[in-house]
Structure 1
């Protein structure tokens, strides 16, 4: 069994352990750590199943599968936290996922690939298109914050309505990006299948049809989604009290801790792709994931919050808006020319570390 498959299987032991910790009342600390560790392998299986289903079903359906399940772990955790009323953590997790995708994931990929190759190349058009969309997303997300911080009187209803309008525009823009990437300009995204391994060869030297495993991977996808939702419920129930006990603010918990737990699968995939010198796919994945969060996940949370009686708006902490703007600007500058090296990766990681320390000491 491949090493990359064995590790997620071993880590699944934390799923029954977290359930036992909850049923047998082993304490909130044990539930916190076991459920967090259980989410890690489940997110890996969810990510793997999403990739397999997307490849087998082809670019159009596969693109929609990626759009729906590409950031499913982050969305599920955020929805569960929103249901529990942890609005500050939910808002912070949106910021944290964007920073993680643009700085941490991209930085690790460029550093790992740059150590092996002197210089790596990718299509700059991918980074430019996604960078333009991210700039729009950051602008829309920042508007409610700017209105509050430039007004003498804050009207809660007005901010909520502005957030709903901005969320609607962002979802429409996300739909347009799907039309662009899957329809009118799909040739720019043909690199999406570049990492797929050749068809397996059976003992009689006959290639195995990957579609024969479609139902298996669909089952894994659905089972992983349900399991992530269950473990997220356990985790969210204790995350506020446990992080407060160890001295972490909701801001730091959402910006740094939650993305580190939910993005493990992405870390592994990005390093694997960059070492294989597949930087087109690496850059497209990192920027595409950040677009999914900014243009789809964040607006969905706004609308869901209204429906379940936990209203959430796009009024972020000003420092969060500044941090995301910094991440978008630096990522756009580094990816603009279609080349990367280990120093570019180091600069992205350094930016993430400095921002992470700043969030740790931020009193909000």
Structure 2
């Protein structure tokens, strides 16, 4: 515990932890002050992300970067899962799908690209385990194909196929969960030696395992609580800032929800522990696509007012597919430079700019027989 208190005393970013109780109290005293809650939740999530990064590094130093990256991705995705469950209970399927697609794209393009850039500015060239990168990219590609199929089949037939889509989504969800479980068995047990780190990197002082695990648990819970406040206020607050619903779900929610993972990934890249950064970025994206999204589909039959399917709107499917293909290309060599990070960030900014200026129509919005051209034209006119 002394090492944790020492870290808080010397790291000024952690002084912002004072905003955690502030935003929790403000949510009860002024629940309708959405803009204030929006800003306070961002100020609270940032130091929690830094603290989660500190604890994760302690676990990774003792369990290895591959396992540490998996653990960080799992705990980091808990925030997205809590946010999605709240939206699922309210029947906001479009928001759930936007947050899922946004988290996949943000982790594969922004998080990985920024890690390459941060590490590349300090080191001329960095290496990482390309077997692990290819493995995670392959998992992500399989999940993207599974998400693509319901949208492609339904779009090819103008007749309503709601019952078929729901049955197909349930079957695909079960298959994806099985693939994810087998992937964990492969990477963490039967072929664990293939996923060892390429570089030892810099390992600074780390907390004891018991302190690190306790910090991870408590911090993740606080991130989930503050993240729920953030989601409850973001739509009303974003309206006053001129942001569209598609941009909010795809970009803003994904960035804030992944703040903890970003802090750990950037810290690992700066210390030349790129395997930790790659494991967090790609592991988190694969976990969302292969586990979080399917679980939400299955849970929608229990806690939601209506079942959710895996049919995403065409723009989201295209963006996820482009993100998966980009990652496959840039991680095939097993090394990175700062310019590779710039290229990934440019692809992300292209997608973000598109959403900000012309958000995609959601599946429930346009009539079934309206052409794609008419949908775009209608969107421009509005």
TM-score (norm 1): 0.86
**How far 1:150 sits from its partner (Å)?**
0.8
**How far 1:133 sits from its partner (Å)?**
1.4
> Which residue pairs with 2:365 in the alignment?
none
Structure 1 unaligned segments of length 5 or more: list them. 201-209
**How far 1:182 sits from its partner (Å)?**
0.7
Q: How many residues matched?
A: 353
SS of equivalent residue, structure 2 residue 197: helix
Q: 1:190 aligns with which of 189, 196, 204?
A: 196
> Which residue pairs with 2:296 in the alignment?
301
> Which residue pairs with 2:185 in the alignment?
179
> Which residue pairs with 2:374 in the alignment?
none
> Which residue pairs with 2:356 in the alignment?
360
Kept in 1: contact 2:108–2:282 (CA 8 A): yes
Separation of aligned partners in 2, 1:261 and 1:290: 15
Q: 1:330 to 1:305 in 2, by over 3 A?
A: same
Separation of aligned partners in 2, 1:159 and 1:30: 41
- Which digits, 9 at most, give the CA deviation of each residue in 1:181-217, with x for residues without a partner? 11111012222995683677xxxxxxxxx6xx44433
Q: 1:265 to 1:8 in 2, by over 3 A?
A: farther
SS of equivalent residue, structure 1 residue 71: helix
Q: 1:332 aligns with which of 306, 314, 328?
A: 328
Superposed counterparts of 1:338-353, under 5 Å: 338-353=334-349
SS of equivalent residue, structure 1 residue 314: coil
Separation of aligned partners in 1, 2:123 and 2:65: 30
Kept in 2: contact 1:101–1:286 (CA 8 A): yes
> Which residue pairs with 1:136 in the alignment?
142
> Which residue pairs with 2:376 in the alignment?
none
**How far 1:309 sits from its partner (Å)?**
2.0
> Which residue pairs with 2:317 in the alignment?
321
Separation of aligned partners in 1, 2:43 and 2:350: 26
**How far 1:58 sits from its partner (Å)?**
7.7
- Give RMSD over aligned pairs: 2.8
Separation of aligned partners in 2, 1:261 and 1:73: 9
> Which residue pairs with 1:109 in the alignment?
115
Superposed counterparts of 1:245-256, under 5 Å: 245-256=240-251
Separation of aligned partners in 1, 2:348 and 2:36: 29
Kept in 1: contact 2:20–2:226 (CA 8 A): yes
Residue 164, structure 1, aligned to residue 170, structure 2: yes
SS of equivalent residue, structure 1 residue 191: coil
> Which residue pairs with 1:291 in the alignment?
286
Superposed counterparts of 1:28-107, under 5 Å: 28-53=34-59, 65-66=71-72, 68-107=74-113
Structure 2 unaligned segments of length 5 or more: list them. 1-5, 362-382
- Which digits, 9 at most, give the CA deviation of each residue in 1:296-318, with x for residues without a partner? 11111112222102432211111
Residue 6, structure 1, aligned to residue 2, structure 2: no
Q: 1:130 to 1:273 in 2, by over 3 A?
A: same
TM-score (norm 2): 0.83
